[in-house]
Every structure is written in structure tokens, then in C-alpha cells.
């Protein structure tokens, strides 16, 4: 079973959705670590309740991104982490982690990328007056929400609705979509590795989720 680390900075609702999916058996992974860059974040309390080990740090205590990512990497290697799922982690991932986990870091973003990247994506879409926004799961690269898209799901914007209603519907989709995509990635990668090991062949992975 693959070992998954979740990176989060806030309340941790997507972290909880991932943990719950693993507990139900819907996600074939062990949630082996929470990494959090805000010692006051509520997600830490969630991790404690779920008995998930945590690595909590304050970036200001380090001289550089490379320094704190180096410590994160040591934690990941010590706990034999296979994949990283960003779930409201409000920092760009740097070269230290990108090189060590190439192709195995994914993120969820509350818009239909490339539209409305960065912070407050729901607010951006709401103020823009679009008829449709949504949720994107994508691979992580060095940019701000610029990695290759894995899956998207649209969410209509109801005319005149308060932004809180839109936020709630988007979060619901996030909590449904992210575990499904993670399951797909973990199981398909595992099957691909088995095929390569058994007969030396490699076939493409269908990365679309309907």
C-alpha cells in the first residue's frame, strides 16, 4: 500500500476527506504524514484526532525555502512517503521536493485552471461574473497552479447566489473528486510499475476522470 503525505495550511477539510476515504477503503493508501507550515492551523487538530503523524514548522525559522524543504524531505524519506497531496498548502513547492518527488506531487485547486490561479480563486471567479467555475486536480510544477491537469469538474455559478453558497458547493466537489483522483493515480501507477517489472513494457495512463 502506498504511503501518502498531505500538505495543508488551513482548516483541513480536504485532508479530512482524504483520511475518511482511506478509512472507508475507497483510497488504497496509508495517510502517513501531515506537513503543515502554520503551527496554529486547525488541520493539526484533525491530524491528532485521526492519529496521523505531523511535521509542523514555521518558515520564518529557516534561512531559506531550500532549508525547510530539506528538513521536510528528511521527514518524508524517514516515513517512506511515496506520494504528496497538497490540500490547501499555501506555498509554492521548490526544487528540493520537486526533484525528489518528480511526477508524484499533486494539488487540488478551486477553479477550472488555467482560469483563476492563485489565492482566492472562488472569489476571483465570483467577482468576474462567470457562469461556471469548478475544481481542478493537477500535477505540481515550479509555477503557481501551472502543472499538467489530471482531472476537472465544473460547478455552475447560480445568478444572485451568495459567495458562501458557491464556496460550499465547490468544497463538496473537492471532497468528492480528490480521493477519486488519488485512488486512480496510486492504483494505475502501481499497475504500470508491475507491467514494467513483469514484461518490460509500459503503457500510457488515462488521466481523465469523468
Whole-number Å distance between alpha carbons of 174 and 59? 27
Structure confidence at residue 191 as a pLDDT band (50, 70, 90): low
Which residue in the block uniquely carries the three cell numbers 518527488?
A: 101
Using a CB cutoff of 8 Å and minimum separation of 24, what contacts does 25-30 make? 26/179, 26/183, 27/179, 27/182, 27/183, 27/186, 28/1, 28/2, 28/183, 28/186, 28/187, 29/1, 29/2, 29/3, 29/4, 29/83, 29/182, 29/183, 29/186, 30/1, 30/2, 30/3, 30/4
Q: What's the pLDDT at 207? A: 38
Residues constituting the chain: 210
Q: Which residues are annotated as part of the binding site?
A: 12-14, 65, 90-93, 107
In this predicted structure, the answer to whether residue 196 has a pLDDT above a threshold of 60 is no
In this predicted structure, the answer to whether residue 202 has a pLDDT above a threshold of 50 is no
Question: What are 86-140's pLDDT values in tens digits?
Answer: 999 999 999 999 999 999 999 999 999 999 999 999 999 999 999 999 999 999 9
Is the pTM here over 0.85, yes or no?
yes
From the candidates 109, 138, 171, 175, give the one annotated as an active-site residue.
Answer: 109
Active site residue 109: yes
In this predicted structure, the answer to whether residue 157 has a pLDDT above a threshold of 50 is yes
Q: Which residues are annotated as part of the binding site for (6R)-10-formyltetrahydrofolate?
A: 65, 90-93, 107
Amino acid at each position: 500500500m502506498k504511503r501518502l503525505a498531505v500538505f495543508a495550511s488551513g482548516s483541513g477539510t480536504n485532508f479530512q476527506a482524504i483520511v475518511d476515504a482511506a478509512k472507508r477503503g475507497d483510497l488504497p493508501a496509508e495517510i502517513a504524514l501531515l506537513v503543515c507550515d502554520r503551527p496554529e492551523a486547525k488541520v493539526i487538530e484533525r491530524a491528532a484526532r485521526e492519529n496521523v503523524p505531523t511535521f509542523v514548522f514555521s518558515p520564518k525559522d529557516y534561512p531559506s525555502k531550500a532549508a525547510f524543504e530539506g528538513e521536510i524531505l528528511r521527514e518524508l524519506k524517514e516515513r517512506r512517503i511515496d506520494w504528496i497531496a497538497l490540500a490547501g498548502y499555501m506555498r509554492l513547492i521548490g526544487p528540493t521536493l520537486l526533484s525528489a518527488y518528480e511526477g508524484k506531487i499533486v494539488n487540488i485547486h478551486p477553479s477550472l485552471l488555467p482560469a483563476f490561479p492563485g489565492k482566492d480563486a472562488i472569489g476571483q471567479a465570483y467577482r468576474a461574473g462567470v457562469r461556471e467555475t469548478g475544481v481542478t486536480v493537477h500535477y505540481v510544477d515550479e509555477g503557481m497552479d501551472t502543472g499538467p491537469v489530471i482531472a476537472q469538474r465544473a460547478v455552475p455559478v447560480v445568478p444572485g447566489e451568495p459567495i458562501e453558497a458557491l464556496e460550499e458547493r465547490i468544497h463538496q466537489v473537492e471532497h468528492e473528486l480528490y480521493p477519486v483522483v488519488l485512488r486512480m493515480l496510486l492504483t494505475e501507477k502501481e499497475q504500470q510499475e508491475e507491467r514494467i517489472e513483469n514484461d518490460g513494457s509500459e503503457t500510457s495512463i488515462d488521466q481523465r476522470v469523468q
